[in-house]
Amino acid sequence: MSDVVDLPSPTGNRRLGLLLSLGVAVLLGALILVLATSEGERGLGPSPLIGQAAPSIDGPTTTGETFTLDDHRGRWVVVNFFATTCIPCIVEHPELVSFDEAHQPVGDAAVVSIAFSDTAANVEAFFDENGGDWDVLAADTGRHAVSYGVAAVPETYLVAPSGIVTSKFIGGITEAQLDAEIVRLSGSPGTGS
């Protein structure tokens, strides 16, 4: 007695494998598209620093000067943690440039950028290419990220003229968001647009 077993044809296995591979590729493509085009989590976020004195920030800037947060008491300070390879950071940069240009002549607000896991050479090249005329810290910045509890970039903190952290922004920031938050907190429109 001979038992004959029907095996699936190699052509059928190939077709099934091809269909499964195509299905997985379509799903992965859709996921990548959603992640690449989403703005991610944006807006105001919680932080134990809100209502507290801002952790000190000091250190050498990319221009060789020394930045100290305490030297900016009496005006709003936008503390922006960023990386040159972070897409939302690149997108928000012109907004920070516009904010700085609107507030710099009056002196009511300042921006300081703190590089997050980046090199000084990359940071200098980024600012040379994209503009921005404010203090930038690119060396020994890990301690600042830790003291502010930065989990991912971009993250931006707004420090009041009194030195108190008033707000934390998660994700890319806009000039309008910064100005609106300053107006909300101070009741004064300042120079913002």
Q: Indicate whether 140 and 164 sit together in one domain.
A: yes
Q: Indicate whether 175 and 100 sit together in one domain.
A: yes
Rounded distance, CA 64 to CA 160, Å?
Answer: 26
190 vs 90: which has the higher pLDDT: 90
Rounded distance, CA 68 to CA 122, Å?
Answer: 22
**Structural domain of 138:** 43-186
pLDDT at 33: 37
Rounded distance, CA 142 to CA 125, Å?
Answer: 20
- For residue 112, give the CATH number of its domain: 3.40.30.10
Confidence of residue 25 (pLDDT cuts 50, 70, 90): low
133 in a domain, yes or no?
yes
Statement: residue 30 has pLDDT above 80: no
Which helix (H) or strand (E) is 182 found in, with range? Answer: helix 175-186
pLDDT digits (tens, 9 = 90+) for 64-114: 999 999 999 999 999 999 999 999 999 999 999 999 999 999 999 999 999
Statement: residue 180 has pLDDT above 80: yes
Q: Which residues pair with 53 in a beta bridge?
A: 164
Query: How many independent structural domains does the chain possess?
Result: 2
193 in a domain, yes or no?
no
- Candidates 74, 69, 86, 77; CA nearest to 178 is 77
State the burial class of residue 45 (Cβ atoms within 10 Å of its Cβ: 0-12, 13-18, 19+): middle
Q: Indicate whether 61 and 137 sit together in one domain.
A: yes
1 in a domain, yes or no?
no
- Candidates 94, 95, 130, 96; CA nearest to 113 is 96
How does DSSP assign 71-132, residue by residue?
GGTTSEEEEEEE-TT-HHHHHHHHHHHHHHHHHTTTTSEEEEEEESS--HHHHHHHHHHH--
pLDDT digits (tens, 9 = 90+) for 145-176: 999 999 999 999 999 999 999 999 999 999 99
